[in-house]
Amino acid sequence: MSDNINIAIDGFAACGKSTLAKQLAQRLSYIYVDTGAMYRAVTLYFERHNVVADNALAVGDALANIHISFVKNTTNTHVDTYLNGENVEQAIRSSAIANKVSLVSAIKAVRTFLVEQQQVIGKDKGVVMDGRDIGTVVFPDAALKLFLTADIEVRTQRRYEELQSKNMPQNYVEVQKNLQERDHLDSTREESPLRKALDAVVVDNSNLTPEEQLAMVLALVGCRVNG
Ligand code: DC
């Protein structure tokens, strides 16, 4: 019998959730799912088709036409997000989408639509999933739940550098403003707000290198898998 587990990673924006999730998936040969990318892809679709959040009919019609998938990039180790067969990995990281995604992800129908898909992906275990509601809503029974946090200046610097390295430079102050606004909206919305699950382990990685954090978390995984 497989002793694979599901690992739920939640936390504020730009806390290094996806870096950790990718490292874990690679080390454990698990599937990595970036649920933020799914909410971003829906936001991109809504933008392109002028779908207004408070028009329930239009939202329902739009969701019926959205198919999101993840495909391994052949030129690097990353996984790219596809929206209806189109690689949207670059488009969903733009500031236009970052500024709208919290509003779209607060819509109940959008959450129901995506959570259902996330639960299907995780039903056989062996999944590392990062987002805002993974330990609380998507996998409330996950064997390991992590809640990442880091100092806002550290997070801003990381996201600023990440955008620069992707040739999508943005103003530092704007990056910070977006992170703070999203954290506020994501934590205060009515539908599945960002919350630490009661049984989640809090990891403040402000002063940890990705390698130090990975070593710590792998030790936790070992405890969960080996009892
Ligand atoms: O992880 P990220 O920053 O790419 O996520 C983008 C937005 O998507 C985030 O601000 C809130 C929303 N989101 C969510 O509501 N629930 C999730 N499980 C993942 C992301």
Sign (positive or negative) of CA dihedral 45, 51, 52, 53: negative
Which tens digit of pLDDT belongs to each residue from 88-140? Answer: 999 999 999 999 999 999 999 999 999 999 999 999 999 999 999 999 999 99
Q: What is the mean pLDDT of residues 62-86?
A: 91
Question: Which residue's CA is the nearest one to ligand 1's atom 18?
Answer: 131
Q: Residue 147: is its pLDDT beyond 90?
A: yes
The Cα 6–Cα 144 span in angstroms is 7
Residue 76's pLDDT is 66
Residue 1's pLDDT is 52
More confident: 156 or 166: 156
Q: Which residues lie closer than 8 Å to 188 by C-beta, 6 or more apart?
A: none
Q: Residue 2: is its pLDDT beyond 80?
A: no
Which tens digit of pLDDT belongs to each residue from 158-214? Answer: 999 999 998 888 899 999 999 999 999 999 999 999 999 999 999 999 999 999 999
Q: Residue 54: is its pLDDT beyond 60?
A: yes
Distance 46 CA to ligand 1 centre (A): 16
Taking each helix axis from N to C terminus, what angle separates 172-188 and 95-104, rounded to the nearest 10 degrees? 10
Any atom of ligand 1 within 6 Å of the Cβ of 22: no
Confidence band of 217 (pLDDT split at 50, 70, 90) = very high
The Cα 162–Cα 156 span in angstroms is 10
Q: What is the mean pLDDT of residues 19-38?
A: 95
**Residue 170: both structure tokens together:** 């943005």
The DSSP call for residue 91 is G
Residue 79's pLDDT is 87
Q: Does domain 7-225 have CATH number 3.30.70.260?
A: no
**Residue 221: both structure tokens together:** 């995984």
Q: Spell out the domain ranges in the chain.
A: 7-225
Question: Which residue's CA is the nearest one to ligand 1's atom 6?
Answer: 36
Residue 127's pLDDT is 96
The pTM of the full predicted model, rounded to 2 decimals, is 0.95
Any atom of ligand 1 within 6 Å of the Cβ of 92: no
